[in-house]
Amino acid sequence: MRIAPYVNDETFCVTYGDGLIDLNLRKVVEFHRQHSKKAPVTAVPSPGRFGILEIGGSENVILFHEQPEKDFGWINGGFFILEPSIFDYIEGDMATWERQLPEGLAADGDLSAYRHSGFWRAHGHAARPARTGGDLELEQGPWKAW
C-alpha cells in the first residue's frame, strides 16, 4: 500500500526480489495488454515446493494453491505486471502478497498466467544462504541482459 501514491494510474511491475529469471518484460507487458486482466503472474514449471497455479482457457488463472500437498503444474514465479486497481485487494501493510493478492485476483477472474519455460531460480529469503549452487557468481548467468 505504501507505493500506491507513487504509481498514480500507471501499470507497474513487482517482484518478490528473491529470484533470478531470464524474462523478457516487454513480452509480459504485451501479453498483459492482450488479456485485459488486472495482473499477469509469471508462471514457471514447478520445482516441487511452491504454490501451484491452475490455469484455464485464455491463460486465465482459475485457482491459486499455496504449497499444496501434491506438486504439479505451474507455479507463481514471483514476477507481476500490475494495474493500480490491485490495491483494492491489499488490506494494509500486513497483507501477504504471496497469498492475498494472487488468490483474490484469481477468485475474481482477474489474474492471468504468462508461461515462462526459460531460466528461473528462487533463492529464498536474503537472510538465508543461496540454495542454487553459486548462480550469483556466474560470469554469464542466463538472467543477465548485459
Assigned domain for 139 exists: no
Rounded mean pLDDT of the chain? 80
Q: What's this model's pTM, rounded to 2 decimal places?
A: 0.73
* 126 vs 119, residue with greater confidence: 119
User: ∠ CA 96-19-57 to the nearest 5 degrees?
Assistant: 70
Grid cell of 124 as nine digits: 529464498
Cα distance between residue 95 and residue 31, in whole Å: 27
pLDDT at 115: 95
Is a pLDDT exceeding 80 seen at residue 36?
yes
- In terms of Cβ atoms closer than 10 Å to its own Cβ (0-12, 13-18, 19+), residue 35 is middle
Q: Which domain holds residue 75?
A: 4-125
Q: How many domains in the chain?
A: 1
Assigned domain for 135 exists: no
- The enclosing domain of 89 has a CATH number of 3.90.550.10
From the CA atom positions of the chain, what is the Rg in Å? 15
Question: pLDDT tens digits for 63-110?
Answer: 776 655 555 678 889 899 999 999 888 887 777 777 788 889 999 999
